[in-house]
Amino acid sequence: MNASRFSAPFAAEAWPAPAKLNRFLHIVGRREDGYHLLQTLFQFVEYGDWLHFELRDDGRVVRASELPGVAVDDDLVVRAARFLQAQVPCSSPGVTIRVDKHLPMGGGIGGGSSDAATTLVALNHLWHCGLDEDALAMLGLRLGADVPVFVRGRAAWAEGVGERLTPVDIDELWFLVVAPACAVPTVAVFKDPELTRDSAPIRMRDFLAGGGRNDCAAVVYRRFPEVAVAAEWLAQFTQPHLSGTGACVFGGFPSSAAANVALASLPAGWRAFVARGLNRSPLLERLIRG
């Protein structure tokens, strides 16, 4: 899983779609529509997918890469492009989109949401739509709860369903992220009757003092034993955390070298990567470059 380091010599025109980690995740309630109210801290990592956009003048949105198990019309990249197209008042521009996919699907590190956000931000720029960040984040929220934070591109304390974002600056640790060989459907975790849904709200200072856990972990470890095994393995080196609803587990290290020592003893056949935490998404640097 090394090909997607953002330092890799990718084509200058490619757009990054980084992964996110939920440094903690508490469920503090539930809305009337069944959606869960969360408290979480999002941080990006320097690792992710790469997207390529080729403009076309026939108004079509075409997917040039395969995504196993995801039909074209369901692909968040295609849905994001069509969503934006519907906002553009002038003649409809088209695009061919290719995704170099590196992030595991159903991994809890936001691959689909990040791809969707990068599509919104890149096409808003390339199609000259002129939507501001707030408008793009609102569009993004209709595609998924995690899309707005990727659109805004700043590590954030999040509340609500993840859309009430306050930018934060936290330690940019090095992380070892282990991706167990299973996909965890977010909806299955949120439907589980045993899920903790009544955590007391905490403050940023509580997290900084070492507080915070992932309320989904008990349910995920029980239903997906591979995830529990990965967390136990990681616990030899550092405190393991579940990201989102899994399947990925991660641990922080003070240096790249320390994280790579742990990576070197990864059991054969497991997938993992080492990457630095980022408070600013590489998508923002790419947008500034134009």
Ligand X SMILES: Nc1ncnc2c1ncn2[C@@H]1O[C@H](COP(=O)(O)OP(=O)(O)OP(=O)(O)O)[C@@H](O)[C@H]1O
Ligand Y SMILES: C[C@](O)(CO)[C@H](O)COP(=O)(O)OP(=O)(O)OC[C@H]1O[C@@H](n2ccc(N)nc2=O)[C@H](O)[C@@H]1O
Binding-site members are 104-114
Residue 187 lies near ligand Y (rule: CB under 6 A): yes
Cis geometry, peptide bond prior to residue 247 (ω within 30 degrees of 0): yes
- 146 is a site residue for ligand Y (CB under 6 A): yes
Torsion of CA 122, 123, 126, 129, to 10 degrees: -120
Q: Which of residues 185-224 bind ligand X (CB under 6 A)?
A: 186
153 vs 82: CA distance, rounded Å: 22
- Tell me: does residue 77 bind ligand X (CB under 6 A): yes
Q: What is the CA radius of gyration of the chain?
A: 18
- Number of residues forming the site for ligand X (CB under 6 A): 21
**Residue 153 binds ligand X (CB under 6 A):** no
Residue 40 binding ligand Y, by CB under 6 A: yes
Residue 26: which of ligand Y, ligand X, none does it interact with, CB under 5 to 8 A by kind?
Answer: none
Taking every pair of Cα atoms in the chain, the longest distance, rounded to a whole number of angstroms, is 58
Q: What are phi and psi of 201, to 5 degrees?
A: -60, 145
What does 109 bind: ligand X, ligand Y, none (CB cut-off 5 to 8 Å by kind)?
Answer: ligand X
- Between CA 277 and CA 254 the distance in angstroms is 11
Task: Tell me the residue length of the chain.
Answer: 290
C-alpha angle 190-191-192 in degrees, rounded to nearest 5: 95
Gap between the Cα atoms of 230 and 217, Å rounded = 12
Rounded Cα gap, residues 259 and 255, in angstroms = 6
Q: Binding marks (x or -) toward ligand Y, 161..180, rule CB under 6 A?
A: xx------------------
* Structure-derived torsion over alpha carbons of residues 29, 34, 40, 42, reported in degrees to the nearest 10: -170
Stretch that binds ligand X, among 110-118, 172-180, 220-228, 251-259 (CB under 6 A): 110-118
User: Applying CB under 6 A, which of residues 110, 153, 212, 282 lies at the interface with ligand X?
Assistant: 110
Closest distance between ligand X and the C-beta of residue 258, in Å?
26
In the set 21, 25, 76, 123, which binds ligand X (CB under 6 A)?
76
For ligand Y, which residue of 10, 35, 237, 270 counts as binding (CB under 6 A)? 35
Does 113 help bind ligand Y (rule: CB under 6 A)?
A: yes
Of the listed 49, 75, 115, 146, which one is catalytic? 146
CA distance 158 to 197: 16
Measured CA to CA in angstroms, residue 151 lies from 10, 135, 274 at distances of 21, 10, 24
State yes or no: is 146 an active-site residue.
yes
Question: Site residues (CB under 6 A) for ligand X?
Answer: 67, 70, 74-77, 105-113, 115, 146, 183, 186, 244-245
The catalytic residues are 20, 146
Question: Site residues (CB under 6 A) for ligand Y?
Answer: 22, 25, 34-36, 38, 40, 108, 113, 144-146, 161-162, 186-187, 190, 244-245
